[in-house]
Structure 1
Amino acid sequence: MQKDTGKHNGIASSSVRNIENKNLLCFNGYSVIGAMLIGLTGLGIGCLVSDFSLPFLGAMGILAIVGSLLPSGFFINGPNEAKVVEFFGEYIGTSFGMGLRFTVPFSTKRSVSLKIESTNTSVMKVNDADGNPIEIAAAVVWRIVSPAKACFNIENYQSFISVQGETALRELAGSYPYDSNSTVSLRQNSTEISQKLCAILQSRVGIVGIEVEDARISHLAYSSEIAQVMLRRQQAKAISEARVYIVKNAVSMVDEVLSHLEAKHGIDLTDDRKLKFVSNLLVALVSESETQPVISVE
């Protein structure tokens, strides 16, 4: 008795990962049915002509036996569907044609959908590149491009894409900050983040014949325990940036007013009066409340 070593012609069994689609040798099912009917009719006519001689009766019996085996070779393929066919445990090919088809009888046929599908990962709590806990989820759009790999390299590709989506999302979240003005961030650079997530996912699921069409973050927020703190931080940052913008423009306006007074009206203020004028004008421009005029009686 020969011992099965898990190798075939010196190739390890793990080489199934390199399996490629092969075109299945199959025929149009209606043509096969037509050929069977023509053959049966011709044999029947031959039997009548030969007055049911023994040779023709034997041929009729052989044809009946063969005809009883042929139905197992018929199968139906729908639009955007493929059939992966095995014959006694050996992969013999994949059929992409639509309609009624015929191939080797007693073969095992597995249907694989080629339609575009989407998977939503669950909301996960992870740490971003700055160590802040965030909640994140993604929507992945994918399709099968190699039915043979999807059948032979993975038991359940639906759950596989879901698990790999969550793993890739964790890796992505740990590589970028939630928010940043100087570098790529999860919140502000959606296009770059989507491309990176697609690349990570494709490197993980390509081995099972899946192509990632699109992957985008569908949920992104700070974790509940730091959400209020980060909200106040964002508000303080926004207020600070707004004040810098207001002061910068106010100084520019004051400078333009002084230049206009000197150039157009010939008003040349002393340093003290210029300092007082600048101070009063900046207060009027920067103040958040309405300014009240003060009349000097000096």
Structure 2
Amino acid sequence: MIMALFDTFLIVMAIFLMAVIIIILISGIRIIQPYQQGLWILLGQYRGRLNPGFNWVLPLVSNVIKMDLRTQVLDIPKQEVITKDNSPTNVDAIVYIKVVDPEKAFFEVTNYHIATIALAQTTLRSIIGDMELDEILYNREVINNKLRDILDKATDGWGVKVEAVEIREVDPVGTVKAAMEEQTSAERRRRAAILLADGNKRSAILEAEGAKQSMILKAEGTRQSKILEAEGSRVSKILEMQGQSQALRLLSLGAVPLDKKALTVLSLDTLAKMSNGQATKIIFPFEISKLVEQSAKYLGASEEFVSEIGKETDIEKLVGKPDDVLGRIPNPDELRSEVQSIESQLKKDLIETTKTAKDVRKMPKVEGINEIEDLK
């Protein structure tokens, strides 16, 4: 019985020892991922790197440190920084790092994450403190590049490379932000005042140009109207005088063969027409007795009639030829040609007036109008 128990104990102990040995052997297995690098430390001594994949080390006395070789993102906590122009500002950032030398990243610094964050905070405070608030707001790219270069140089001894730095937020404190808003509002009011003044200036210039063009066109219209009226009056007078001269010619030529009998008949006919009028008082420009005497002689035919008027040649001797006395009267063709010449000249004047108006419209624009539109 005792022997059976002892055999059972030996079997259990053998199984236990074998299990312990297997567990110890299994504990020496290390699996390194493709993005990792293993550091093997045996009894306090660095024995070398372990490549990605299956690795076996001495169990119980070995320590394997796995270093992540991927790009890591570190969040720089928000901190209050005093700028060069004494404006308190809250600034935070993001740093992208990558381990390039696992031995240095583990043996040269206690914790490269904390060390990098602390260094980024102090460096960011130093850079922001040397700049004014406006420079910080408008020159973030410059700050990013400068901070990256400083951090990369400092972390090179730790086996860490700083790939990029990005300023995430620049938030001035409440009083500074209120002052900035008031400044922005004042600037916009100033620009609005400039726009209004330039708009009034532009409006006044356009009104002046319109008034100038209106006066020019009105003056040209008045001048052309007066020219037309003068030319029309001249042509009308010429035509009227031409008609009168022709009537005088006909009258003078028709009166040449008249004798005293004809004149007496005409006088009596005129006297009869005047007696039919509505006037109560009539003034005769000749003596009635002479007219009656001449009528009696004409009716009695007792005296021989001798012409007192004379012949046509006698009139030309006394007053001259009709063309010499009246002057040369233009014929209808000459008058028509002169009217066409006047109309042609008026058309030329109208073309010149239109060209002058176009030149006025092409006046150079007021300087600063493009800038005003940009401000809009």
Q: What is the distance in 1 between the residues matched to 2:189 and 2:149?
A: 38
Q: 2:18 aligns to what?
A: none
Match among 226, 234, 244 for residue 176 of structure 2: 226
**More off after superposition, 234-243 vs 150-159:** 234-243
Q: Give the match for residue 151 of structure 1.
A: 106
Q: Is the 8 A contact 1:83 1:112 kept in 2?
A: yes
1:113 matched to 2:44: no
CA deviation vs aligned residue, 1:40-80 (integer Å, no higher than 9, x gap): xxxxxxxxxxxxxxxxxxxxxxxxxxx99986764211121
The secondary structure found in structure 1 opposite 2:84 is coil
Determine if the alignment matches structure 1 residue 141 to structure 2 residue 96: yes
Matched, 1:194 2:144: yes
Q: Which residue of 1 aligns with 2:303?
A: none
Q: Secondary structure at the match of 1:123?
A: strand
Of 19, 24, 38, the match for 1:83? 38
Q: Which of 161, 165, 190 is 1:211 aligned to?
A: 161
Secondary structure in structure 2 of the residue aligned to 1:121: strand
Alignment of 1:13-92 (within 5 A): 74-92=29-47
CA contact (8 A) 1:143 1:212 kept: yes
Match of 2:81 among 117, 121, 126: 126
Shift of 1:136: 0.9
The answer to whether the 8 Å contact 1:72/1:107 transfers is no
Identity of aligned residues (%): 21
How far off is 1:225 after superposition?
Answer: 3.6
1:100 pairs with 2:54: yes
**Cα distance, 1:112 vs. partner?**
0.9
Partners in 1 of 2:214 and 2:56 — Cα distance?
A: 95
Report the structure number with the largest CA radius of gyration: 2
Change (3 A) 1:266 1:145: farther
Counterpart of 2:4? none
- The change in CA–CA distance for 1:242 and 1:92 in structure 2 (over 3 A counts) is farther
Which letter maps to 1:200?
I
CA distance in 2, matches of 1:196, 1:260: 59
Q: Is the 8 A contact 1:222 1:230 kept in 2?
A: no
Cα displacement string for residues 63-119 of structure 1 (whole angstroms, at most 9, x for unaligned residues): xxxx99986764211121111223444434333x32102467754321111122212
Check conservation: 1:134, 1:221, Cα contact below 8 A: yes
Q: Aligned with 2:86: secondary structure?
A: coil
For residues 176-201 of structure 1, give each alpha carbon's deviation from its aligned partner in whole angstroms, at most 9, with x where no partner exists.
Answer: 2221xxxxx22123322221221222
1:135 counterpart letter in structure 2:
N
- The answer as to 2:124 corresponding to 1:174 is no
> What amino acid does structure 1 have at the position aligned with 2:52?
M
Instruction: Give 2:193's aligned residue.
Output: 243
Q: 1:244 to 1:99 in 2, by over 3 A?
A: same
1:199–1:264 Cα change, 3 Å: farther
CA separation in 1, counterparts of 2:49 and 2:215?
Answer: 89
* 1:204 aligned counterpart, secondary structure: helix
Q: 1:144 to 1:252 in 2, by over 3 A?
A: farther
Distance 1:187 1:146 in 2: 36
Report how many aligned residue pairs link the two structures: 197
Give the C-alpha shift of residue 257 in structure 1.
6.5
* 1:136 partner SS: strand
Root-mean-square deviation (Å): 3.4
Distance 1:224 1:71, change over 3 A: same
Relative to structure 1, the CA distance from residue 71 to residue 178 in structure 2 (aligned partners, 3 Å threshold; closer, same or farther) is: same
Q: 1:119 to 1:264 in 2, by over 3 A?
A: farther
| Partner secondary structure for residue 79 of structure 1 | coil
How far does the alpha carbon of each residue in 1:26-49 deviate from its partner, in whole angstroms, 9 at most, with x for none? xxxxxxxxxxxxxxxxxxxxxxxx
Q: Which has the higher contact order (CA 8 A, sep 6+)?
A: 1
Cα distance in 1 for residues equivalent to 2:142 and 2:207: 45
2:322 counterpart residue number: none
Q: Residues of 1 paired with 2:64 and 2:87: CA distance?
A: 50
Looking at structure 2, the residues matched to 157 and 115 of structure 1 have their Cα atoms a distance apart, in angstroms, of 14
Q: CA deviation at 1:223?
A: 1.3
Q: How big is the shift at 1:131?
A: 1.6
TM-score, normalising length from structure 1? 0.55
Q: TM-score if structure 2 supplies the norm length? A: 0.45
Structure 2 CA distance for partners of 1:253 and 1:152, relative to 1, 3 Å: farther
